Amino acid sequence: MSVTERSFYRQLNPGDRRRDPPLRWLPVGDRENWRENGIDLASILLRDPQKMSTKVLLHAMYNGEISGSETFARRYVMATREGVDQLPWELALVNARLAWDECRHTEIVLEKMPEHGVTLGDFADGYRNDDGVTHSSGEQNMINSMAAVHRGGEGMAMNLFTSLIDMGRDIGDKEWETAFDFNHADEIMHVEVGNYWVPRLTEGNDSKRREAMQAQQEFEELVMALNTGDEVLPPEDFAL
């Protein structure tokens, strides 16, 4: 088998994932059993990690981090694609850096999983209303994604990682505390990515600016709803 035939190197189509075992999504009606089945990453943003099963927590975080690495890598490809107008080269470099950060976060979580007796695939990766997958493309959708993810989601993630740092201190795991301290530092930068790029990419275009802010607001409202089990967030739209 040649290198290009290996699954990691094959061309990805929208919705494809390289993760092994594959992602496993449960019907939204099974959400109330998340302690046994697992939980989607967005649903832990407003929860106290110390009140959760460490196994479920780490499994959900791995899914979120590796999904983030793919999301930002796809953005890099989009920003460098021929024919895409008005996306500065620096934006491609930023997304390459973001993808690298998410890969490091993935490795941190993967390293901690065996210590706490959890293996990838032990739990569900999240919940959805149906089997459909939505994907965004094009310049405006990238701007909306940056507003929602960086100014909304990763702002909430800063609070999550602060709680995880405290958790490591409380359980006496210095490595855990230090690792998530590094994650927290990355999240600060990731929020600033949104704070810089969303205004820059919408400069002089009020309708684009309003649409981006609406995307951020809808994301934050959806995360709030997730914590009550009212809605399900398409997994492609969220990354830490």
- Work out the end-to-end distance of the chain between its first and last CA atoms, rounded to an integer number of angstroms: 35
pLDDT band at residue 142, thresholds of 50, 70 and 90? confident
- Can you tell me the distance from the alpha carbon of 153 to that of 216, in angstroms, rounded to the nearest whole number? 8
% of the chain surpassing 70 pLDDT: 79
- Any residues with CB less than 8 A from the CB of 143 and at least 6 apart, and which? 197, 198, 201, 202, 208, 211, 212
As its CATH architecture, domain 18-237 has Up-down Bundle (1.20)
As a whole number, mean pLDDT of residues 189-205 equals 93
| Coil/strand/helix, residue 204 | coil
Q: Which pLDDT score is estimated for 27?
A: 82
**Block residue for tokens 């009140």:** 51
The per-residue pLDDT for range 160-188, each reduced to its tens digit, is 999 999 999 998 999 999 999 999 999 99
Residues 6 or more apart from 220 whose CB is under 8 A from it? 152, 156
- In whole angstroms, how large is the CA radius of gyration of the chain? 18
pLDDT of residue 224: 79
Length of the chain: 240
pLDDT, position 109: 93
Tokens of 56: 């479920």
What's the whole-number average pLDDT of the chain?
81
